[in-house]
Amino acid sequence: MSLFVLGTGTDVGKTVITAGLVGWLRDRGRDAVGIKPVQTGYPPDDDVGFVTEATNSEDAGVCLRYLEPALAPAVAADVEDTDLSYNEILQGCRHKLKAANPGVVEGIGGLRVPLAEEMEVIDLAADLGLPMFVVARSGLGTLNHSALTVEALERRGLDVWGVVLNDYAGETLAERTNTNVLESMIDPPVYTMPALDLVTPDEAVTAVRENLPSSVLPE
């Protein structure tokens, strides 16, 4: 069973979670691979590079398409005046998932991000049909974003395995109350993680393994 890591938006910690899960699975003897359908803002943004560095393995990550503008994939392709085929992305993900054991697909931004040919990230998630793991911020505003994301995914028939609230320090009242409140709003379990945007590749696997239960790993 593979897994899809989706964020409630950009820069919420999807890449660290993906790298951590892939590295954790590889430490357990699995040939796990992080799969990035489209990487925009490249260079310098390189999510697959983070995964391969975190796992010390060049074959631990793969990206199907790179685009330079730091924009939604469909918009970036339009700016570059280049074709971006949704079917090629979908079939490419399926091919990589079939070869992986298991695959961890990392989304692009949030679920309504334009992907290609009027299709969005949520369409790719639904067509792949993988269990979902949602990454969100821990502070003020996350209740709305997280609950709406989970609701939208479940309405498309997707199984949400959990929500991880990133950058948790417990310094604000919103942070300290959001976990329990969100758990009362949605069915999936809610976890917290420290500031993932500050985690280096060398620390990613340890950070994920120390803060998440092994039950989040795909079988």
pLDDT at 152 over 80: yes
Percent of the chain with pLDDT over 70: 100
How much is the average pLDDT of 160-178?
Answer: 96
pLDDT band, residue 121 (cuts 50/70/90): very high
pLDDT band, residue 197 (cuts 50/70/90): confident
108 is in an annotated binding site: yes
For the chain, the maximum distance between any two Cα atoms, rounded to a whole number of angstroms, is 47
Residue 217 maps to a domain: no
How much is the average pLDDT of 6-16?
Answer: 95
pLDDT at 128 over 90: yes
206 is in an annotated binding site: no
What pLDDT shows up at residue 198? 78
- Strand order from edge to edge, sheet including 3-7: 61-63, 33-36, 103-106, 3-7, 132-137, 160-166, 190-192
16 is in an annotated binding site: yes
Residue 219 maps to a domain: no
40 is in an annotated binding site: yes
**How far, in Å, CA of 146 to CA of 8, rounded?**
6
What pLDDT shows up at residue 6? 98
Nearest to 105 by CA among 156, 37, 200: 37
Calculate the average pLDDT of the chain. 96
Using one digit for the tens of pLDDT, what is the confidence trace for 42-53? 999 999 999 999
Residue 215 maps to a domain: no
Residue 216 maps to a domain: no
Dihedral over alpha carbons 23, 25, 27, 31 (to 10 degrees): -90
pLDDT at 219 over 90: no
Marked catalytic residue, from 7, 24, 25, 36:
36
pLDDT at 27 over 90: yes
Question: Is 98 an annotated catalytic residue?
Answer: no
Q: How many domains does the chain have?
A: 1
Residue 167 maps to a domain: yes
Which CATH number does the domain housing residue 118 bear? 3.40.50.300
pLDDT band, residue 183 (cuts 50/70/90): very high
How much is the average pLDDT of 208-216?
Answer: 94
pLDDT at 218 over 90: no
What pLDDT shows up at residue 129? 98
What pLDDT shows up at residue 173? 98
The residue range of the domain holding 117 is 3-210
**How far, in Å, CA of 18 to CA of 53, rounded?**
12
Residue 218 maps to a domain: no
pLDDT band, residue 86 (cuts 50/70/90): very high
Residue 200 maps to a domain: yes
pLDDT band, residue 196 (cuts 50/70/90): confident
13 is in an annotated binding site: yes
